[in-house]
């Protein structure tokens, strides 16, 4: 628990501690990674809750249904483990694996302006949702957008035409009446 935490804007949230498990200080974790246990690939986590930040090391973990049970190094008391509930699990963006040229992390897409084939600004990507068939982008209106409608667009090859992170834009094939 010694390394200095990365700057807040460099931290990527990979999960959240939500409860305790058993009497030996294990914690229950919702993982936002796919598959769930990928969060265990990171041996050191920065835990963040409000203005509180902690550095911890992962001693081990396992999948249990739709969540993980994780043992943090040095945490062996259930009552102390309970105080960890509500902490987000973060890692520095630089620790994430490199992606192929046409792949993106969700955090890279959030905040992009979405422009359709007619050059109309539909809004800005607020967040993404995982559904069974494909991921869905929640596009909310912003300054200069066509209207005040929130739109749900599929993150598919048919819809997404191009992504330019430098310009902060995503071009889509999407009719404004959908």
- Give pLDDT tens digits for 77-115: 999 999 999 999 999 999 999 989 889 999 999 999 999
23 contact partners, CB below 8 Å, separation of at least 6: 78
pLDDT attached to residue 23: 94
Reference 114, options 149, 83, 86; nearest CA is 149
Q: In what order do the strands lie in the sheet with 113-116?
A: 151-154, 135-140, 121-130, 113-116, 169-172, 160-164
Provide the pLDDT for residue 9: 52
CB count within 10 Å of CB 98 equals 5
Is the preceding omega at residue 35 within 30 degrees of 0, hence cis? yes
At the topology level of CATH, where does 8-94 sit?
Elongation Factor Tu (Ef-tu); domain 3 (2.40.30)
Helical ranges in the chain per DSSP H: 78-82, 106-109
Low-confidence ranges of the chain (pLDDT < 50): 1-8
Read out DSSP for 55-94? EEEEEEEEEETTEEEEEETT---HHHHHTTTTPEEEEEGG
Residue 65: CB atoms within 10 A of its CB come to 8
Q: For position 130, what pLDDT does the model report?
A: 84
One of 3.30.300.30, 3.30.43.10, 2.30.30.240, 1.10.357.10 is the CATH number of 106-172, namely 2.30.30.240
What per-residue confidence (pLDDT) applies to 3? Answer: 43
**Cα end-to-end distance, the chain, whole Å:** 50
User: What pLDDT was estimated at residue 101?
Assistant: 86
Cα torsion for 163, 167, 168, 169, to the nearest 10°? -50
Domain ranges of the chain: 8-94, 106-172
Q: What is the pTM of this model?
A: 0.76
């Amino acid at each position: 628990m010694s390394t200095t935490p990365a700057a807040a804007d460099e931290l990527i949230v990979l999960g959240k501690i939500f409860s305790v498990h058993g009497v030996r200080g294990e914690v229950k974790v919702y993982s936002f990674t796919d598959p769930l246990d990928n969060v265990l690939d990171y041996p050191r986590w920065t835990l963040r809750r409000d203005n509180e930040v902690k550095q911890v090391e992962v001693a081990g973990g396992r999948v249990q249904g739709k969540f993980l049970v994780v043992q943090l190094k040095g945490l062996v008391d259930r009552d102390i483990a309970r105080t960890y509930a509500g902490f987000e699990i973060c890692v520095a963006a630089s620790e994430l694996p490199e992606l192929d040229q046409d792949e993106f992390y969700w955090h890279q897409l959030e905040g992009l302006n979405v422009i359709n084939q007619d050059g109309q600004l539909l809004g800005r990507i607020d967040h993404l949702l995982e559904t069974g068939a494909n991921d869905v982008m929640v596009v909310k209106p912003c300054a200069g957008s066509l209207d005040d409608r929130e739109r749900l667009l599929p993150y598919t090859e048919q819809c997404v035409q191009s992504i330019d992170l430098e310009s902060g834009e995503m071009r889509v094939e999407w009719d404004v009446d959908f």
